[in-house]
């Protein structure tokens, strides 16, 4: 595996990470990210205003509800919900924001990205931690290579 892009390394250096967009079902990308981070030793907090628990873990309605706060947020919501998550993150002083995206639009919202940049936060746009957290499965290694080639993830 090649060296992590600095922006990804900085995000993953945070040990308390929120994952916004988890669902009560376990098949969503957000849930896979939640599990991967948890299994890699991160303290991970699922965020969904419509769920009390996700995969046996207390789920929080918003970022401000997480006791002790977090240092990073993985945005894996629909694009129209991304701006709300970003505003919560910025209000809470969170400086590491990652917008999930693979082949489609993912959680990417140009308005949310602009909001981050206006407040001095350089977000990660595209990809997800499954492409960078060891062990990386064959499918995510291939997806990372393809998305790098297409310019859709950090270099």
CA distance 110 to 124: 12
Q: What is the CATH number of the domain that holds 107?
A: 3.40.50.720
How is residue 11 written in tokens?
């995000």
Task: Say if CB 126 and CB 74 are below 8 A apart.
Answer: no
Domain total in the chain: 1
Residue owning tokens 């993912």: 106
Query: Tens digit of pLDDT for each residue in 51-107?
Result: 999 999 999 999 999 999 999 999 999 999 999 999 999 999 999 999 999 777 888
**Residues 6 or more apart whose Cβ sits within 8 Å of residue 93:** 69
- pLDDT, position 104: 75
In a domain, 1, yes or no: no
- pLDDT, position 1: 45
In a domain, 155, yes or no: no
CA distance 100 to 49: 19
* Domain housing 32: 6-149
pLDDT band at 13 (very low <50, low <70, confident <90, very high): very high
């Amino acid at each position: 595996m090649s060296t992590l892009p600095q922006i990804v390394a900085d995000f993953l250096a945070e040990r308390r990470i929120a994952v916004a967009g988890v669902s009560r079902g376990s098949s969503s990308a957000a849930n896979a990210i939640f599990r991967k981070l948890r299994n890699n030793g991160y303290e991970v907090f699922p965020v969904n205003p419509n769920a009390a628990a996700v995969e046996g873990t207390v789920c929080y309605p918003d970022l401000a509800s997480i006791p002790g706060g977090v240092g990073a947020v993985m945005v894996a919501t629909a694009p129209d919900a991304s701006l709300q998550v970003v505003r919560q993150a910025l209000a809470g002083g969170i400086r590491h924001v990652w917008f999930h995206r693979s082949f489609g639009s993912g959680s990417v919202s140009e308005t949310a990205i602009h909001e981050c940049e206006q407040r001095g936060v350089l977000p990660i746009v595209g990809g997800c931690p499954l492409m960078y957290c060891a062990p990386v499965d064959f499918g995510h290694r291939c997806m990372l290579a393809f998305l790098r080639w297409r310019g859709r993830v950090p270099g």
